[in-house]
Amino acid sequence: MSGLAAAYRLRRAAGPDAVITVYDPADRLGGILRTERLAGQVMDIGAEAFVVRRPEVPALLRELGLADRQRVPTGVRPLLYSQARLHQLPAGTVNGLPSQGAALAGLVDEATVARIAAEPTRPLPWRPGDDPAVAAIVGDRFGPQVVARSVDPMLSGVYAGSSAGIGLRSAVPPVAAELDRGAPSLTAAVRAVLPPTGPGPVFGAIDGGYRVLLDALVEASGLVWAPTAIAELRADRRGWLVGDDEGTEYRADAVVLAAPIGPTADLLEHVAPQAAAIAKRIPVASSVVVGLAIPGGTPLPEQSGVLVASGEALHAKAITLSTRKWGPTGNVELVRLSFGRHGDTIAASTADERLLSWAVADLETVFGVRVDPVDVLVHRWLDAMPQYGPGHPRLVAQLRAGLPPGLALAGNYLDGIGVPACLVAAGRAVEHLRASG
């Protein structure tokens, strides 16, 4: 998405005569956005939704004439699985951070509810610019139950990591900004940024899956797809030399490097060694998605899915009841289960058959139903989920500052891991190239 969006923005900036080449050795363009068919039904097996309260994706859909393809969910809400049972997702929270003790009543014990309620009475040692790990500040202010049962389920689904390795400034930027502005407590900062509770969906999707948007970007950008891997970047007086893994070199006036963070660090090694060293400090996680088509009429709850607390006796970190979330499209129920967190090897080393058995067992544990899938899809995303650790925004600023003229970066390790943030990164990459001539 980052590379294709950059190509589209470059076309609009450079006009019809520019030659824009995308080098990508994958079997299809789109990176970790991937639309497949499961039992004849469309399923996004990477990211499936975007935040509609952010303007980037709706605006892009309008530009491309796809506004009528935007879908809204049915309105059912997710559940939390904690202490071996299901809970309603608490209201009055921001990425699991509570605005008051009552918000987590029933999910945490009474002592923790009281601790949350009393948090505003405790001094808050905060300096503008601080960026502690989410688990550190939430554990200190609210206690470990809030970390494990409320915050970790949210961040695990987004980053395939844990709140111990994600910085507050990345996980909840508005909360950090409120603390910078002098909010007297963490609950006060959360309360100040609670999203509006009025009508309208939080998330959206695309009818036909993200493939519809990807194909439209390819067509609108007029790009040339070279299905080859790039092994080397070199600058000379005329611009850039781009070398593939077979030793062939291509000349370019400017380069947008929209690779995952690992290959990005390798390619920067000789042209921007300081930037390469910074890029290598950004850790990554792997994830694997198991998509199931199960018989229609299977007694699943009218909920959009389940987020799983830390320490539970499940293998999945999240379950999406896709048909319940987006509405029926056929005679089967589509379900997605996500596995793998930062620090484990599940995505790389667990066989498909075992993942399938875990998925079936987890559905029985959580919902009490034994399913017999009519179709199955397994897709692995290896080293695809960057971890936005404490101080990540500073790292990104240093990374960008260390680039030579004519080279820009885009990707999900820069301004956020979601699709809207990737569009922002793509736009910044094109602006950087225009500013540097």
pLDDT per residue as tens digits for the range 395-404: 999 999 999 9
Residue 284 has pLDDT above 70, yes or no: yes
Residue 267 has pLDDT above 80, yes or no: yes
Residue 335 has pLDDT above 80, yes or no: yes
CATH 1.10.3110.10 range(s) for the chain read 92-192
291 neighbors 58 (Cβ within 8 angstroms): no
Q: What pLDDT does 190 receive?
A: 98
Q: Which CATH superfamily is domain 49-88+197-207+284-386 in?
A: Protoporphyrinogen oxidase, mitochondrial; domain 2 (3.90.660.20)
How close are the terminal C-alpha atoms of the chain, in Å? 24
Interval 344-373 mean pLDDT: 97
- Name the CATH topology of 2-32+209-282+388-435: FAD/NAD(P)-binding domain (3.50.50)
Q: What pLDDT does 436 receive?
A: 81
Interval 100-121 mean pLDDT: 97
**For all residues of the chain together, what is the average pLDDT?**
95
Q: What pLDDT does 196 receive?
A: 75
379 neighbors 283 (Cβ within 8 angstroms): no
Interval 216-230 mean pLDDT: 96
Reference 306, options 49, 57, 2, 86; nearest CA is 86
Query: What is the rounded CA–CA span in Å between residue 434 and residue 214?
Result: 24
Interval 5-19 mean pLDDT: 96
Interval 42-61 mean pLDDT: 94
Reference 220, options 428, 2, 16; nearest CA is 16
Interval 214-231 mean pLDDT: 96
- Going by pLDDT thresholds of 50, 70 and 90, the confidence category of residue 11 is very high
The percentage of residues in the chain with a pLDDT greater than 90, rounded to a whole number, is 95
- Going by pLDDT thresholds of 50, 70 and 90, the confidence category of residue 59 is very high
CATH 3.50.50.60 range(s) for the chain read 2-32+209-282+388-435
Residue 199 has pLDDT above 70, yes or no: no
Q: What pLDDT does 329 receive?
A: 81
Interval 258-267 mean pLDDT: 96
Q: What pLDDT does 393 receive?
A: 96
Reference 343, options 161, 166, 170; nearest CA is 161
CATH 3.90.660.20 range(s) for the chain read 49-88+197-207+284-386
Q: Does domain 92-192 have CATH number 1.10.3110.10?
A: yes
Element (H, E) at 94: strand 93-94
- Going by pLDDT thresholds of 50, 70 and 90, the confidence category of residue 198 is low
Interval 357-373 mean pLDDT: 97
Residue 230 has pLDDT above 90, yes or no: yes
- The backbone torsions φ and ψ at residue 408, rounded to the nearest 5 degrees and listed phi first, read -135, 160
Alpha helices in 280-373 (DSSP H): 322-326, 346-349, 352-367
